[in-house]
Structure 1
Amino acid sequence: MPSTPQAAPDAASRTACGRITILLVEDHDMVAEAIRIALDRTDDLTVVGRSLCVKDALADAARLRPAVVVLDRRLPDGDGISAIAPLKAAAPGTRVLLLTGDGTPAMAAHVAEAGGSGLILKAGNLAELKDGVRHVAAGDVAFSEGLLAGALDRLIGATADLGTTLTPRERETLGLLGDGLGAAEIGRRLGVALNTARNHVQRVLEKLGARSQLEAVAVARREGLLP
């Protein structure tokens, strides 16, 4: 059933009692219930709402402002990939993790191009989904095995020459992104606070014209900014 209306938290309060807040968008009741139970039984994750379709998801995301939207690929009123950009516009700062039964490297590239943070196969286990939610909530990406490399390959060459305005610190940040590190580890490597590291990452994305860390790395490799 659709999530119960509640007051929308601001961008700084997308955790409930220290737990990562999740909006689950899934129209099949049994699948949704299994996912909800699995996520809610962890100490650091909580499902704050469930939507049955894209239309409801847009309204629920704007109201609930979850840290992560776990989004089914096929919904009654639309395709999940096409819903990524509208969801991010409805709830700025929210990250989108797509679920699908038949993912391919091409699909993974489309998810990254649309601004999604990951693609998890339904054939995987619930532990992979939990870890994926944690990764994208921390600003990283999460793709099922075999999809990440293919997505990078397909994204290379997708944009024009960029990157000439990166500062030395931003180039250092980009190098760490290329090593597969997330914002938390980048902060530790650079000796800066997590929010500062996230700001560095965001500026890198903006200067490269990328909508995700995955796309930024692909662009940087194409431009010769990364090996």
Structure 2
Amino acid sequence: MVNLVLGDDHAIFVDALAATLPQHGHRIVGTADNTAGVVATVREHKPDICLLDRYFADGDGLDVIGEILSAGGRTKVLVLTADGDVQGMRDALGKGAAGYVNKMCGLAVLAGALRGVVDGEVVVELAASRTPRLAGTTDARRLASHLTARERQCLRMLVEGAHTTAMAKRLGVAPTTVRTHVQSVLTKLGVHSRLAAASFAMRHGLLDDERMPVAG
């Protein structure tokens, strides 16, 4: 059994997890509904994983990741949040979190993320997607090769968390043009949201090599 501490201020959501996660081999050893309480509960129980919400009444959960890691010793932090902010994900991982999962991804994805964290993986699931996972990075890069140079610029800005207005300003085009480019990116990569496109690009390192051929 994997011991968990749940840090979330939504009581119904916590109750639902407490009722279902034991069926997936997890034991809930403590819960807390504020950041200070999460740190104290982790210090008391030293769980394998702390499931941490992003926002609490007393502050941002990301701000106490370091304290949680210190309090728990070997405890790993998996941020479970309704917030789909790409920069938030980057900040969480930068502070030492082992994963960042959107609550909309569902229980099956969460259970898989927990297994991944236990196995030492860094898990990112920014948004639920009905698109089947590709076999690997080779297939992902094949899809990305169909992006034009402008579409790759848009994809990079999606990874940076930029919104349509900011993208339009940087590119010197109208917001409607940006939306057209972004929709083309989603179609070519086979994803259904901007967050899914950003996650897909980061997972497969699609922007790591700017020399990658692009479509004309």
Report the TM-score, using the length of structure 2 for normalisation. Answer: 0.58
Distance 2:23 2:47 in 1: 18
Partner in structure 2 of residue 21 of structure 1: 3
Contact 1:121 1:144 in 2 (8 A): yes
1:36 equivalent to 2:30? Answer no
1:48 equivalent to 2:29? Answer yes
Partner in structure 2 of residue 68 of structure 1: 49
Structure richer in helix, relative to its length: 2
For 2:73, what is the secondary structure of its paired residue?
Answer: coil
User: Out of 81, 84, 94, which is 2:65 matched to?
Assistant: 84
Aligned-residue offset at 1:145: 4.7
Contact 1:71 1:99 in 2 (8 A): yes
Structure-2 change in CA distance of 1:27 and 1:145 (3 Å): closer
Partner in structure 2 of residue 104 of structure 1: 85
Structure with higher Rg: it is 2
1:119 equivalent to 2:112? Answer no
For 1:41, what is the secondary structure of its paired residue?
Answer: helix
Distance 1:112 1:133 in 2: 15
Unpaired stretches in structure 2, ≥5 consecutive residues: 129-154, 161-204, 210-216
Contact 1:26 1:72 in 2 (8 A): yes
Partner in structure 2 of residue 185 of structure 1: none
Distance 1:146 1:40 in 2: 24
Partner in structure 2 of residue 144 of structure 1: 125
In the TM superposition, what are the counterparts of 1:138-177 in structure 2 within 5 Å? 138-145=119-126
**Structure 2 counterpart of 1:53, which letter?**
N
Distance 2:31 2:62 in 1: 18
Unpaired stretches in structure 1, ≥5 consecutive residues: 1-18, 155-217, 223-227
Aligned-residue offset at 1:112: 0.8
Structure-2 change in CA distance of 1:145 and 1:59 (3 Å): closer
Distance 2:119 2:34 in 1: 26
The CA deviation string for residues 164-197 of structure 1, in whole angstroms up to 9 with x for no partner, is: xxxxxxxxxxxxxxxxxxxxxxxxxxxxxxxxxx
**Structure 2 counterpart of 1:34, which letter?**
A
**Structure 1 counterpart of 2:81, which letter?**
T
Distance 2:20 2:42 in 1: 21
Aligned length, in residue pairs: 137
Contact 1:23 1:50 in 2 (8 A): yes
Contact 2:62 2:91 in 1 (8 A): yes
Distance 2:127 2:41 in 1: 32
Report the TM-score, using the length of structure 1 for normalisation. Answer: 0.55
Structure-2 change in CA distance of 1:146 and 1:72 (3 Å): closer
Contact 2:78 2:98 in 1 (8 A): yes
For 2:105, what is the secondary structure of its paired residue?
Answer: coil
Contact 2:104 2:127 in 1 (8 A): no
Identity across aligned pairs (percent)?
26
Distance 1:73 1:146 in 2: 15
**Structure 1 counterpart of 2:13, which letter?**
V
Distance 1:23 1:111 in 2: 18
The CA deviation string for residues 135-189 of structure 1, in whole angstroms up to 9 with x for no partner, is: 1122111111569x98xx77xxxxxxxxxxxxxxxxxxxxxxxxxxxxxxxxxxx
**Structure 2 counterpart of 1:103, which letter?**
G
Runs ≥4 in structure 1, deviation > 4 angstroms?
none
